[in-house]
Structure formats: structure tokens, C-alpha cells
A and B are shown apart, each in its own frame.
Chain A
Amino acid sequence: MDPPAGFSGLFPLGQLAYFSKNLQEAEQPVFTLKRGEAHNCFLKSGLVQPVLQVHRNTIPQIRLEMATQDRSSQRLPPVAEPAVEGVPHLPVGHELAEASRFAYAALCGISLSQLFPEPEQSSFCTEFVAGLVKWLELPEAVLPTMTAFANGLGGEGADVFAPILLKDPILKDNRLVIIQDLLSFSLKDGRYDARARVLICHVTSLFRVPLEELDLLEETFLESLKETKEEESETAEASRKKKENRRKWKRYLLIGLATVGGGTVIGVTGGLAAPLVAAGAATIIGSAGAAALGSVAGIAVMTSLFGAAGAGLTGYKMKKRVGAIEEFTFLPLTEGRQLHITIAITGWLASGKYRTFSAPWMALARSSEQYCLAWEAKYLMELGNALETILSGLANMVAQEALKYTVLSGIVAALTWPASLLTVANVIDNPWGVCLHRSAEVGKHLAHILLSRQQGRRPVTLIGFSLGARVIYFCLQEMAQEKDCQGIIEDVVLLGAPVEGEAKHWEPFRKVVSGRIINGYSRGDWLLSFVYRTSSVQLRVAGLQPVLLQDRRVENVDLSSVVSGHLDYARQMDIILKTVGIHTKPGWDEKGLLLTPGSPPQEEPRQVAATSSSDKTTPGDNPEVATPADPSRVQVPTGLDQSEGASLPATTSPAESPQLCSHGTGPNPLGCPDCASETQGPCPGLD
């Protein structure tokens, strides 16, 4: 069944490749189409002939179908009307009335100027709008006006154009026309700028279209550019509805793309898939494709789909140690593909349920393509153990009273920590200090990976808690120093971040982050203030108070009612994610509670599959596997192993009753938000 070698073998059966005009010159496909999709859009007789020959030998019925299409395509222009199979004709952007096109471009221009008023972004805004004017086939005369809009002149608000657009007879019933057109436009160069996505999200909300629709469009788009196995495990009804929707849109997305001509190569899917690719490219591009990887055409496809350096990512990371970093791997959290990705970064590893990097993120559904970063499991494990010890065992009874006033009076009082707690401080201080240092290194490394676009040219969202948030902080800081740092990061979510909370340190992030900068903090997180008492002299900690930076991007979310102690960041992640406005898997709550500590059932096989792909078992999702050569690690927190058994129930039980005010009973009696809010002002800082 294996097709013969050569470029045609790249495409799984039933697929059709569309090649750019000069086949001899460029042997790489512009994009591939599924069988049914090709009806009259791209087929040019003759061009598909080579592919046809191959399939003719293998699957007769396809040949038949193609032959008919081939004939019909001779009558039709390359970009034909998509009136197929009773699907109503939906026009693409440039088919709208001129007034609507003008309003559409103006809407984008003004929105851009509102979203990115910074002078360093103005070239992007101008270029985007200029491109859009061309894309919409608007006369050049409107260019000065649009440029003025994009530079913040003359805009009384983009919302004035939205109602006008919605009155357009075509758009009235199909608001998605604009969204899909904007998406096609943004992707036409084979990259997906984070700023473009923020704009599309903005326009989507102006049109009052739910963001899920956008996700769906993006998925559809991606699907139409590459073959995916139909393996969605949704309920039958939902999936049918989804597919119907998709089928309708796919056609128009493709038509939208076709209008740019033969030069469109999509390179937006990313290199973070590298571990998967190494595991067996067959699963992604088909077994035939894997065989052809060595060929020139094969490399071209891989390059365009997975980013230039994608395949080399794993090897690079495994072979070379970067600075002081011992472990740095991306683990897939979800199996899907999406035009934007999310990277979740765990702050510490604990015993039991939270011993894996992915455990806290089970509810995360920001994108259908999500990864979690596995980094320095050895040290994070030590830290987690220490945190648990402090919280559950030693400190609980003794420090209870003293800590209460500590929390209530803010960080000022951190200078007068109770002596009882200070005696056990060495348990935590050492791993904390190590992790603090490592997280900064890891953050910088992550920055360079993102800057080199290993993830492909598509927007990235970073979510992290505790030291994971610190990784993000340093990643952003490192990126901000580079010139081409813009348009990569979409949103960042920092939860309980042990980093400086001074606004001036966050200022450079505006350049890097296109969407939102969310700082989730908890005033009652005494552990964070405790570990911070000596680590540095910073008194404003982002994880304890809002970051007072005036920017549309910055959102401070007070999580005090959800997070009553530092360990809650992992335990309450689903609630936290909901609170900060990140999509979570529906119906997760029950599922999350059903999970018993130490047995996260779904993830185990997937992790194994992912790790087996690499030549070394480095992704220490399971600490025992990850660092078997280091027996000392287990003993490092001496006495912890004994206390672990006792601490485990104590630390897991509050997960079931998170909202309870646990005066004097829980492991962290002082995090009770009610207590805190009674006497504590909005900002516990010194000033």
C-alpha cells in the first residue's frame, strides 16, 4: 500500500496537492486539500497530473472523482464561485461592497491603534493596514486615511464601524465572514503574528461573536492545510455540528487564501511538536510521509509545517546543556493542533497527585495545542517537599498564631518572623534559592527558543504559577532585550509569581506581550512572603499584590479567596484559570475531584509516549524515572520522607473544601482571606 517514493508520497491517500504554477521550479506544495474540498477552487488541469498518476495506481475511485473535477476545472477560473452542494455562497472579504470594505479596514486600523499605541508598534500597524487595503482591493487613495487611523489619528472609536458593518446585507447573517477573512489575511504570509490574533480577537468581540467560533475557524483553517486523522472524541452530535460548520467555512478560508496566488506557504504550525515528530512522524504526516522525509520535498513540507528548526529541537536540548540547566523539555498536554499554542509552566512538584509537571494543568483548555515545560524536576521536587513539610508538619502548630499577624500586617511584618518558623527555614531556603536561580536561567532559555521560533510562527500564550511564573517573568525580560521580540507572545498569566512587583520592571513587557498580562496574586500567601524574606530584599512581590502598571494589557486578579496558601496554586488551578478568564475543560470539576492522589490516569501513557521518543528519559514527569542516577536526591530533605506520609493527607484534603475558612485547623490557617481582608489594606506593600 505504500506509495512510491518521491514527493507525491508525502500526501496521505485521498489527499490532493496543489502545486504552485511552475512545477519544475518549486516542487513544494502550496497546500494540500482533502479530497472533497478541491471541487473547483484550485484545480488547474495538468498541474495535478503527476499526483494523479500515483493515485491512479492505488485508489481507483479517487481517480474517478478527480477526473470529473479535472474536467470541470477547465471551465472554471482558478478562484471560482464556491456554489457547491447547496452551500450558500458566502463571499470573501474583497467581494463586499466598497463601503463595507472601507469600514472593515478602518475598523482594523482604529482597533490596532487602540490596542498598540506604542510607537515601536506603529510600523506593524501601518504595514498591517496597508496590506489589508491591498487585500481588500481598496483604491490606494484610502491609504493615507487608513494609515492615519492605524497611527491613532482620527479614531473616535472602532466601535462606530462595527454597527455599520453589521448592517451590511451580507454580514448581517454572517458576521464570521469578516473574522475568517481577517484570519486568512493574517495567515497569508505563512505566519501568524500574535498582534494579529489579538486584533482578530478584538474584532471578534466587537462583533459579539463568541471566541469559540474563532477557535473553530482556526482549527478549520489548520485542518484544511494539513491532513489530520478524524479522532475527535466528542459526543456524536457535537462533532457532527462542528463538522458541518467546518465544512462550510473551510471552503471559504481556502478561497480567501487562493486569492493571494500561488505563493502562500503556511508555516504556522510549530516546532514544539518536535518530540512527537521524533516519536514517529508517521502519526502526523502519514507513514508515507515519514518515508519521504529525506527527500527535498519532504524537508520542505516539514519546514513549512513545523517551523524551520522544529525537528532539531529535541536533539539540541538533549545533547547540550545550556548554562546551568539540567532539564528542559516540552511535554504535550493535549493532542490537538492549533494555530496558537499555550505553554504551561509548573512551579514545583509535590508528592502524590502533583508529582508530574502536567498534573496541575489537566483542566487547562486555552488552546487545543498545549504543552507544559518540564524543567529541573529534581530541584522542583525538593522544593515541593520542603513546601509541604513547612505547611503541613513543622510549622503548622507552632507558627500558627504568630503567622496570623504576619499576614495581617503585610510584608512589613515579614521582618519579624516567628522564631519557630525560622528554625525550620533551612528546609525551604536552600531548595528555594536553587530554584529561584534555575527558574531565571530556564526563563532565559525559553526566551531564546521562542525568539528562534522553534514553536513555529504562531502566537504563544504562557501560563505559569509560582516559580513557573518566575520562568515566564525572566523569559519576557530576556525577550524584551531583543529586537524582534514583538508579535510572538499573545497572553501571559503569572500566578503567585515570586518576582518583583514594581511596575517599572514590568514596563518592558508591554513590548513583548501583545494580549494580556495577567498577574494573579494572593494577599494571604504567607509562604511566599516567608521564602522571600531572605532570598532578596524585594519588598514588592508580584505574587502578593497587584502590579501597578498602567496599560490595557495588565490585569491584576486578586485570588485571595481561592488561594489561601502557596500550594493552592496547583490544587485550585481549575478555579484559578476560570477566575483569570482562561478557558478550562467543561465539567472538569467532578473529574478533578474524582482523581485520587498519585494516579493521574489519562496522562501517564501519553507522557511515556512522549519521553520514549527522545533518546534519553529526561522529561522527569516521573521523578523516579527522570533522575535515577541521583540517589542522594531522595534523601536530601532529610526527614521529609518520614513526614511525607503524614503530610500527604493534610495537604490534599483542603482541595476538596477550598472555600472553607480554616482558622486554626487547616495546614495554612493564615491564608484565610476573610481574616486578611478585615485589617489589611488593598496593598500590603511598604509604601
Chain B
Amino acid sequence: MRGHLSSVKGGEPDWGGQLGSERSGVRMDEDVLTTLKILIIGESGVGKSSLLLRFTDDTFDPELAATIGVDFKVKTISVDGNKAKLAIWDTAGQERFRTLTPSYYRGAQGVILVYDVTRRDTFVKLDNWLNELETYCTRNDIVNMLVGNKIDKENREVDRNEGLKFARKHSMLFIEASAKTCDGVQCAFEELVEKIIQTPGLWESENQNKGVKLTHREEGPGGGACGGYCSML
């Protein structure tokens, strides 16, 4: 299940502007293919914020305070020569902020579901998170990734194969990582983005969903009325 990484950094700038318009409000970068919304969810204390911090700032803070509400970071990465701007929403795992979580699912193209390999309870509760995901997600072709965090620790409680099995069962990407040692963090995000970009209907449709566009009906040959997105939506 675990796909290989095939990212090329510093990709071709020629792509710029071809797929043009981004969501208003986000500053348009010339050579960014698209803006993707990524959500990080999981139980409290599994290391969601640490993963994000490692990915965006390449730092690690063992005493990181619990997230309040949601944290939000933007990072541009290039995968396969395509630059993508990631708007990453790091949700709070604490119960008291659970009411807020549903609001973030809307429009997300990728979800990173994190558990702690040293705490079985965080793995057991994955089912709940998947339920919530199903309930609140606005699209069903969203790319999910399961991340087992804290593999640097000794007292592992969840075996790698267990995670792999769970991921396969729910057709998710899977990776084990450690925010502390930087193991697999970059990889996790890049792979997720790659997968999203490989699913064109997922990110291209963002523009189409923003409103009704009144244009001349010039359907491509065999394109069909819905431009081939029907099967995916």
C-alpha cells in the first residue's frame, strides 16, 4: 500500500498560471498549480502539531502546548514538478474543542489521521475519527492518510502491520513517522499531495465548485456534460 516517493524539488515554473484562478483571499503565486486544503486529525497528544511543526518549520518542541481550536499553516511544496500550496489545518484533539472540528472538513482534499504508536487507545479510537470524517466530509474522493507517530519511542504498543492493515481496510495511505527524529514526516505530506494531484477531479473541481460559470457550451469530444467528473463526485 505504501507508495514510493517520487517528488522532484524545484519543479518547472512553466506550469504557472495555466490552471489559474485560486480562491480569492489567498494571494496568487505565479507558479503554484493549486492550493490544497489538508486537515490533520487524531486524538489528543498523538503529535499532530509536532508533525506540522516539523514539516513547516523543521523544528521540534517536546513541550508543545495543546492546540486551541485549530492551528493553521501554509507551505508551498513541489511534487513531481508541480508546485502546490498547502493550507494545513491542525485541529485540536482535546475533547473540549471537538465541537469545532466538523467545520474544518468542508472543502478539504486531504486528511492526515494521526495515532500514537505507543498508545493503543489512540489507535482504537481511529474508527471514531473515520466516522466523523465520513459524516462531515463534503466529498468522497478525499485522500486519507494514516500516520503512526512517535516511532522513535521504545514502548511501542501498536505494530506497524496493524496500522498497515487498518489503512488497507479503509483504503488510506499509510506511513509511520516521528516528528522528533524527522522520520517520514516530509514523506507523509509529499505523498499525500502527490496522490491528491493524481486525482484531478479532486483539486481541479475546486474552481468549478466556487460558483456558476456561464460560458458557451463547447464540450470537448466525448467530454460529456459534466466533463468527466460525474464518476468521481
Residues of A at under 8 Å CB distance from B? 97-100, 102-103, 106, 113-114, 117, 138-139, 141-142, 144-145, 148-149, 152-157, 160-161, 163-164, 167-168
Give CA–CA (A142, B100) in the complex, Å: 14
Given the contacts A98-B68, A142-B68, A155-B25, A164 and B103 also touching, CB distance less than 8 Å: yes
B97 contacts the other chain (Cβ, under 8 Å)?
yes
16 cross-chain CB contacts under 8 A: A99-B69, A99-B99, A100-B99, A103-B69, A103-B99, A103-B100, A106-B69, A117-B24, A141-B68, A145-B69, A153-B74, A154-B74, A154-B87, A156-B107, A164-B99, A164-B103
Given contacts A103-B69, A145-B72, A156-B104, 12 further A-B contacts (CB under 8 A): A98-B96, A99-B100, A102-B69, A102-B100, A106-B70, A148-B72, A148-B74, A149-B72, A154-B87, A157-B106, A160-B103, A167-B99
Which residue of chain B lies nearest to A161 when distances are taken between CB atoms in the complex? B103
Task: Assess whether B68 is in contact with A154, with CB atoms less than 8 Å apart.
Answer: no
Instruction: Name the B residues within 8 Å of A139 (CB-CB).
Output: 65, 68
Give CA–CA (A155, B107) in the complex, Å: 10
Taking the closest CB of chain B, its distance from the CB of A163, in whole angstroms, is 8
Give CA–CA (A222, B138) in the complex, Å: 45
4 closest Cβ contacts across the A-B interface?
Answer: A152-B25, A102-B69, A160-B103, A154-B72
Task: Assess whether A153 is in contact with B103, with CB atoms less than 8 Å apart.
Answer: no
Which residue of chain B lies nearest to A151 when distances are taken between CB atoms in the complex? B25
Instruction: Name the B residues within 8 Å of A138 (CB-CB).
Output: 68
Task: Assess whether A98 is in contact with B103, with CB atoms less than 8 Å apart.
Answer: no
Taking the closest CB of chain B, its distance from the CB of A211, in whole angstroms, is 25
Instruction: Name the A residues within 8 Å of B71 (CB-CB).
Output: 141, 144-145
Instruction: Name the B residues within 8 Å of A100 (CB-CB).
Output: 99
Instruction: Name B100's contact: one of A141, A148, A149, A164 (CB within 8 Å).
Output: A164
Taking the closest CB of chain A, its distance from the CB of B229, in whole angstroms, is 20
Instruction: Name A98's contact: one of B26, B74, B97, B104 (CB within 8 Å).
Output: B97
Give CA–CA (A103, B96) in the complex, Å: 12
Instruction: Name the B residues within 8 Å of A168 (CB-CB).
Output: 99
Give CA–CA (A99, B67) in the complex, Å: 11
Give CA–CA (A138, B67) in the complex, Å: 12
Which residue of chain A lies nearest to B71 when distances are taken between CB atoms in the complex? A145
Instruction: Name the A residues within 8 Å of B65 (CB-CB).
Output: 139, 141
Instruction: Name the A residues within 8 Å of B72 (CB-CB).
Output: 144-145, 148-149, 153-154
Instruction: Name the A residues within 8 Å of B68 (CB-CB).
Output: 98, 102, 138-139, 141-142
Interface string of B15-32 (1 = CB under 8 A from A): 000000000111000000
| B66-105 with Cβ < 8 A to chain A | 67-72, 74, 87, 89, 96-100, 102-104
Task: Assess whether B100 is in contact with A152, with CB atoms less than 8 Å apart.
Answer: no
Give CA–CA (A161, B106) in the complex, Å: 12
Task: Assess whether B97 is in contact with A102, with CB atoms less than 8 Å apart.
Answer: yes
Taking the closest CB of chain A, its distance from the CB of B36, in whole angstroms, is 12
Taking the closest CB of chain A, its distance from the CB of B133, in whole angstroms, is 16
Task: Assess whether A99 is in contact with B87, with CB atoms less than 8 Å apart.
Answer: no
Taking the closest CB of chain B, its distance from the CB of A96, in whole angstroms, is 12
Task: Assess whether A153 is in contact with B26, with CB atoms less than 8 Å apart.
Answer: yes
Which residue of chain B lies nearest to A106 when distances are taken between CB atoms in the complex? B69
Q: Is the interface of A mostly helix, strand, loop or mixed?
A: helix
Instruction: Name the B residues within 8 Å of A142 (CB-CB).
Output: 68-69
Give CA–CA (A154, B89) in the complex, Å: 8
Taking the closest CB of chain B, its distance from the CB of A665, in whole angstroms, is 42
Give CA–CA (A97, B24) in the complex, Å: 32
Instruction: Name A156's contact: one of B67, B98, B106 (CB within 8 Å).
Output: B106
Instruction: Name the B residues within 8 Å of A103 (CB-CB).
Output: 69, 99-100, 103
Most chain B CB within 10 A, of A98, A139, A149, A168, is at A98
Taking the closest CB of chain B, its distance from the CB of A178, in whole angstroms, is 15
Give CA–CA (A97, B25) in the complex, Å: 30
| B102-150 with Cβ < 8 A to chain A | 102-104, 106-107
Instruction: Name the A residues within 8 Å of B25 (CB-CB).
Output: 113-114, 117, 152-153, 155
Instruction: Name the A residues within 8 Å of B69 (CB-CB).
Output: 98-99, 102-103, 106, 142, 145
Most chain A CB within 10 A, of B69, B96, B106, is at B69
Taking the closest CB of chain A, its distance from the CB of B85, in whole angstroms, is 10
Taking the closest CB of chain A, its distance from the CB of B217, in whole angstroms, is 23
Given the contacts A106-B69, A142-B69, A97 and B74 also touching, CB distance less than 8 Å: no
Which residue of chain A lies nearest to B67 when distances are taken between CB atoms in the complex? A141
Which residue of chain B lies nearest to A138 when distances are taken between CB atoms in the complex? B68
Give CA–CA (A57, B100) in the complex, Å: 57
Which residue of chain B lies nearest to A162 when distances are taken between CB atoms in the complex? B103
Taking the closest CB of chain B, its distance from the CB of A143, in whole angstroms, is 10
Give CA–CA (A144, B56) in the complex, Å: 14
Which residue of chain A lies nearest to B107 when distances are taken between CB atoms in the complex? A156
Interface string of B54-71 (1 = CB under 8 A from A): 000000000001011111
Instruction: Name the A residues within 8 Å of B103 (CB-CB).
Output: 103, 156, 160-161, 163-164
Give CA–CA (A157, B67) in the complex, Å: 21
Which residue of chain B lies nearest to A107 when distances are taken between CB atoms in the complex? B103
Taking the closest CB of chain A, its distance from the CB of B111, in whole angstroms, is 14
Give CA–CA (A84, B141) in the complex, Å: 55
Give CA–CA (A138, B71) in the complex, Å: 14
Task: Assess whether A97 is in contact with B96, with CB atoms less than 8 Å apart.
Answer: yes
Instruction: Name the B residues within 8 Å of A154 (CB-CB).
Output: 72, 74, 87, 89
Taking the closest CB of chain B, its distance from the CB of A94, in whole angstroms, is 14
Give CA–CA (A145, B88) in the complex, Å: 11
Taking the closest CB of chain A, its distance from the CB of B32, in whole angstroms, is 14
Most chain B CB within 10 A, of A98, A113, A154, A157, is at A154
Instruction: Name the B residues within 8 Å of A97 (CB-CB).
Output: 96
Instruction: Name the A residues within 8 Å of B97 (CB-CB).
Output: 98-99, 102
Give CA–CA (A100, B37) in the complex, Å: 23
Instruction: Name the B residues within 8 Å of A117 (CB-CB).
Output: 24-25
Give CA–CA (A117, B23) in the complex, Å: 12
Instruction: Name the A residues within 8 Å of B96 (CB-CB).
Output: 97-99
Give CA–CA (A157, B211) in the complex, Å: 14
Which residue of chain A lies nearest to B37 when distances are taken between CB atoms in the complex? A156
Which residue of chain A lies nearest to B103 when distances are taken between CB atoms in the complex? A160
Instruction: Name B26's contact: one of A145, A152, A157, A163 (CB within 8 Å).
Output: A152
